[in-house]
Structure 1
């Protein structure tokens, strides 16, 4: 069914603007139930311990407040990649839920807790993303090990084709490991795709990826998705103690 829709969207449609075509692509690939906020904090190297304490005070508190209607998917520190960088992924009840939650936080004691992180930051970014329809984010669990965040900057207009190619190959790779989550950006830095994996250690990651290359179709998947991408990053992350995913 997806292939049929993919073919249909490749055909020119009279009067269809770029934004309309983009909206159709989003409707095809998005799960649509939640919006995920990707908060990325680049911390002063000399202040990581102080930042961790301030971040735990804020994120652990908001995730436990049922009035806010927000879930903390996870919080991580970068081990390999852009060091002194921290990722926090929050789950909101769609865009209306995001508006309500952020308004409540802005007018509560949590705002003061958030401000306590700011002196330790060099920069911060926030992007809103949605889950791919075929893969909802994993529920909270404690399995240990490391996480790998793979991020792709796609060529504009290639999201649907990228998703189709990746989805086809990922079914085979699931024989060895399940993705923890997969998202595409909606607001902020556009045309980005992220998927998150969990491994016991780097050795297991290496062995798992080598097995995937032996599967029929995986090399084709990598080749096709690479053609739709401008560049990519693969960061190794360590979950923070209060992270629901760890």
Structure 2
């Protein structure tokens, strides 16, 4: 909201009150909560927005007014994140006619990258989309914090085999993108394990300023869901496209997924979680994924 919009709002509100025969300010000479005298404007002649307007501006900038005093973005990261690792979520949009070539290429290149990193670079998992954004591969990489990410990226930039891999990869893709994400502190990512079945990646684009409120509600709601289904991981974006949250679940099949979600609605607290979080979302999607043969989670 621009400053001119705020001033316009204040003017129209004052005019309404004056038409009703009321003053828009308290009695002359009384003191407001911030210690300023209300009988006269500031010495510089600027008008102070009404308390209601200040609340609106604060809500736009920082989310719901029902939250505690807003923390800085740095504090949010410390509060919300597990802090041990950073994860890179890569998304590859594959040209349909090169699909088989792509699978063969990454199936050879990615295990080699992990092996040569001496455990400084780990592949959480690699999947192909079965339902949703088709001809798409999702890869989640794990690094030992930002220093680990910087070290591995520097090593790969100097690796001629990896550079050849990139040269061979690019013609196979329509596009690709990535995000650097942090794990939510309450939801530790699964280590390598063969779970079988299907994976669901749920992606939420939050309205700016609502991540803390989202985390507060989802941390409670997870206790309802995990009675029936153990989560795989959850991340929020820090670099790349911002205000994104990703959740991953594993199910034996889609029928089990349906029954599991229905069971959650019978648990006290789940309906409240959905109600409190859906209003924070700008956009959401759910993709059903199948693990690739070399995936550490499959």
Contact 1:42 1:85 in 2 (8 A): yes
Contact 1:68 1:101 in 2 (8 A): no
Structure 2 length as normaliser, TM-score? 0.76
User: 1:8: Cα distance to partner?
Assistant: 11
Structure 1 length as normaliser, TM-score? 0.91
Q: Higher relative contact order at CA 8 Å, sep ≥6: structure 1 or structure 2?
A: 1
The answer to whether structure 1 residue 25 and structure 2 residue 76 are counterparts is yes
- CA RMSD after TM alignment: 1.7
* Greater fraction strand: 1
Deviations 1:121-157 (A, max 9, x none): 0001011000001111001111211000001001111
User: 1:42 maps to what in 2?
Assistant: 93
SS at match of 1:197: strand
User: 1:79 maps to what in 2?
Assistant: 130
Inter-partner Cα distance in structure 2 for 1:210 and 1:8:
30
Inter-partner Cα distance in structure 1 for 2:182 and 2:129:
22
Contact 1:58 1:114 in 2 (8 A): no
| Bigger mean CA deviation after superposition, 188-197 or 219-228 | 219-228
User: 1:165 maps to what in 2?
Assistant: 217
Deviations 1:151-181 (A, max 9, x none): 1001111111100100101112111011100
Contact 1:62 1:68 in 2 (8 A): no
The answer to whether structure 1 residue 98 and structure 2 residue 149 are counterparts is yes
User: 1:245 maps to what in 2?
Assistant: 297
User: 1:121 maps to what in 2?
Assistant: 173
Contact 2:67 2:213 in 1 (8 A): no
User: 1:150 maps to what in 2?
Assistant: 202
User: 1:200 maps to what in 2?
Assistant: 252
User: 1:66: Cα distance to partner?
Assistant: 3.6
* Structure with the greater alpha carbon radius of gyration: 2
Q: How many residues align?
A: 234
Structure 2 unaligned segments of length 5 or more: list them. 1-63
SS at match of 1:244: coil
